[in-house]
Amino acid sequence: MKFKNIFIILFVLFVSIQNVFAEQASVKFEVLLPSFLKIETVTSPVLNAHIVDKTGNMYAPLSCKFRVISNSSETKTLYLKSTSITKNGAEESMFNVGGQAYIAFTNIQNIPNSESLINCKMNAPAKLSPGVVAYPITSIIGTKHKYNRGKGKFEVYVENGETNVAVNIGMHVLKNSFDERDPYGFYQATLSLTEADI
């Protein structure tokens, strides 16, 4: 009986020793998650307002909201810019007067010449910019930002995760941009938030 027990113990030790010296192979699996950035508009902005015909001021301010989702570990720089339609097509319409950023709106029923937009952006008298009126960007909420005068746009900085960016446009017209002789109709500007610095 003792001999049988010793044999079982030796067999278990032999199998255990073999397992210790057994060869092993392994494979590492890797998957790559690419950088992701999504910019979308939020559906509750105030996009329409009426202009008081004698002053050029709006009855109410405008606002819009963007939602940005990023998985980047680094701060992303986005660009907030505006365009308006002239007879030359879509032109950049954000500009700065006295440290204040403005957006120029152009008449979309009686489309102005490019010169009208240029004159408005230079803060020339209103008679030189018919069909163009400008309103101030009063605040950008939800993220750090700075106005780049040389490029006529804001740089907006977003972190990893979800960032909500609200842009508010004031109701008081840039005085030199409005004249009671500006053509009747709808005035429009398009505000864009983009990753491309174009």
Tens of pLDDT, residue by residue over 69-122, are 999 999 999 999 999 999 999 999 999 999 999 999 999 999 999 999 999 999
- Look at strands 153-158 and 144-148 and give their pairing: antiparallel
Query: Minimal CA–CA distance to 61: which of 171, 152, 140, 136?
Result: 171
End-to-end C-alpha distance for the chain, whole angstroms:
90
Percent of the chain having pLDDT more than 90?
73
Q: What number is the average pLDDT over the span 130-152?
A: 96
Mean pLDDT across the stretch 12-18?
A: 57
Return the higher-pLDDT residue of 45 and 162: 162
Give the contacts of 61 (CB within 8 A, at least 6 positions apart): 46, 49, 138, 168, 169, 170, 171
φ, ψ dihedrals at 37, nearest 5°:
-145, 125
Q: Tell me the torsion sign for CA atoms 86, 91, 97, 101.
A: positive
**Model pTM score:** 0.83
The b-or-e profile of 87-108 (16+ CB within 10 A means b, else e) is eeeebebbbebeeebbbbbbbe
* For residue 67, pLDDT beyond 60: yes
DSSP letter at 51 equals B
CATH class of 37-194: mainly beta
Q: How high is the pLDDT of residue 46? A: 76
